[in-house]
Structure 1
Amino acid sequence: MRFAAPPCAARLFAAPLVAAGLSLIAAPALAAPCGGSFPGFIEAIKAEAQQRGFSRADADRFFAGVQQDQRVIRADRAQGVFRMSFTDFSRRLISQGRISNGAANAQRHKAIFDRAARDYGVPPGILLAFWAFETDYGAVQGDFNTVNALATLGHDCRRPELFQPQIHAAMQLWQRGMLDPARTTGAWAGEIGMVQMLPGDILERGVDGDGDGKVTLKTSVPDAILSGARMLRDLGWRKGEPWLQEVTVPANLDWSKTGLDKQLSAAEWGRMGVVPRHGKLAGNLPASILLPEGRKGPAFLVYPNFNVLFEWNKSFVYVTTAAYFGTRLQGAPVFNAGNPDPQLSEGDMKALQQKLQARGHDVGSVDGILGAMTRPAVQKEQQRLGLPADAWPTRDLLNRL
């Protein structure tokens, strides 16, 4: 599952699967009011559906059993797992069983993975990594009623602009016989199937890999793998290019040059003493040095394809772990954990974020998570204070601030 990370936003524009006569999912949402009465919200959604081309009778049938699900709200508010360090998070998600099952699935479905690589340019490792983390290779796909989940989140006022259009996309899937509002289940955020895609993404990027005329992500491995590959390709995945490789870095590296917001060519990093632990540096490709736990912890060189993965999941630690696992499934060694400085507690991290905000840095939410917005702010303050600017917050930095 995707734990409690915000799901990727569907790219809501015209798709081959959209039915003739119905408004495209890209049509501007009519913004049913969030909050307030849930039955009143459903009535507003039904009215929107009629303006998009559904009959009132169809709308009534689709929403006949819809219910608000408080489990969805609780899951949406739970972010604790993403406060873990990269080392702890990766050890939690990457087991020998997942490695062995990944190898077995790669062999069992070789023809499908070959097709994904040929047609969409996405290699097996990264697809297997997401398949493993999202649903344990299809074994655990979630037991939340999909329509209830989408309606609950569309009614909630945190991200109605994301989830309300997904309700209408689910209605279009229903019309094609690809979703049953009473029985279709999935993740708490309304994602469906082995690789957990939102209804809008299924409409837009779903691939009928097994030729049965439908996109069935819950039970068809070809459909799931090829749909995931197409989604990554459409999000910007570049064929034939790496995404991440572990490296060793010299002790005298200019740490202020590290981070996802700074790039040199892989060859330039090599001239600065950066050495890959597996394979070769990717020549003239732009690359960033990623130090998920600072200069004393693991070190990776990441390429443009790595940034594409944030369109699948917004969590820094999740994306980094999935990217590493993808390389591991393709033969990379176990990463060198090093000996990083201790991680700040949740309370200390929130205090740090508040101090960074007070100094004018945009860290997003004060949530105790060292994410992609907090790291650059940490690095800038480290530079200002004359500390090693490796973007890993320490007790010393907190005390100085």
Structure 2
Amino acid sequence: MSGFDAGVARAENVWYRSYPFWDAYFALVLVGTIAATAADGLPPGRKAAAVMLLVLLGVAYAAVGRKALRSREERRPGCRLYAAALVLMFVPATLLAPVTSTGLAALAPQVYMVYGTARGFVLMVVLFSGAIGSTMVASGAGVTLTLVMMLVAVACSGLLATFIGRLSAQNRERARLIDELDRTRGELAEVSREAGVLAERERLARDIHDTIAQGFTGIVMLVQAAEAEVGPNRHLELVARTARENLAETRGLVAALAPPALARGSLVEALRRLAADFALPVDMDVEGEQRPLGPAVEVVLLRVAQETLANVRKHAGATSVRMSLVYGRDAVRLTVADDGRGFDPEAVASGFGLRGMRGRVEQAGGDLAVRGGAGEGAVVEAVLPCSA
């Protein structure tokens, strides 16, 4: 079996798959006990009564006990009725024919599986009473020997109860862990799916902006240059208008593919929501005239802020964070600084997070700077042109 499959692990659960073996074991012990009772040199009336009680016990197991044994409910259906059947059928059978006490070999594990350790122990003491009482009468044993037999039987029953109780607890814990694994795998699959969708949307938006949108912008500029040389021309005006209309449609498509955080408002609002939801206090500062920067630039700045805050949470050991967004005339600068333990930027330059941020920023025509030192915190600064 390659990998871990929760369904297969659950199917291979020894506890639940062992039920047919318990049925077969109980049937074999019961048949053997009936045969031993029939062959015992007892008066025919007592022998027949004991055999009849054992047969009725088998019927009670098939009708009620088997279902109670297999139930996974906290209150097993029919368990009280089956307990009454055990006491009213097995105890008299052992009083009539002491050899029937061999049936305890099958009843003991069954009782603890159905009733648990505490209630099962009490029920087993009752079931032992008939066997010990009949043995005491048949052998003429004294009180001391009877007490010793009782203590030995109770001790053996207690050991069996401990073993089956631990096995049952281990089984329940295993079932809980498997259910928890199922839920975790489902949550991870959903998160992975959403992350994949967002990543694909962002890639499409970036590709459309870098190819089709830039192409339409180039066409508009070429048409404007051609009009400057040849003068007004109906065909050139039609080309320019068509290019502008398609450029507007392309920009709308890029905006629609932007991250949901940007779809619900401006870049500043998205950064403020990101800061408010962060695990540490974030001091957010905005300078300059706020204006749209274009989907490509805003997406890159948002991703840089998200990745930087994620690194602060995982590695910095900081108590607070400062984030600033400065709108300049030709460029915009995002700075994220923390008061954590700091690090050597050169030592982690090959890390995937920093490499990914640097690649995003440089692809958008900007620069990424990382500064820090041991015990001095860290500063991540991204500068991008507003016209990107």
Pairwise TM-score range, normalised by the shorter structure: under 0.3
- State the structure with bigger RCO (CA 8 A, min sep 6), 1 or 2: 1
TM-score with structure 2 setting the length: 0.20
Choose 1 or 2 for highest CA Rg.
2
Larger % of helix: which? 2
TM-score with structure 1 setting the length: 0.20
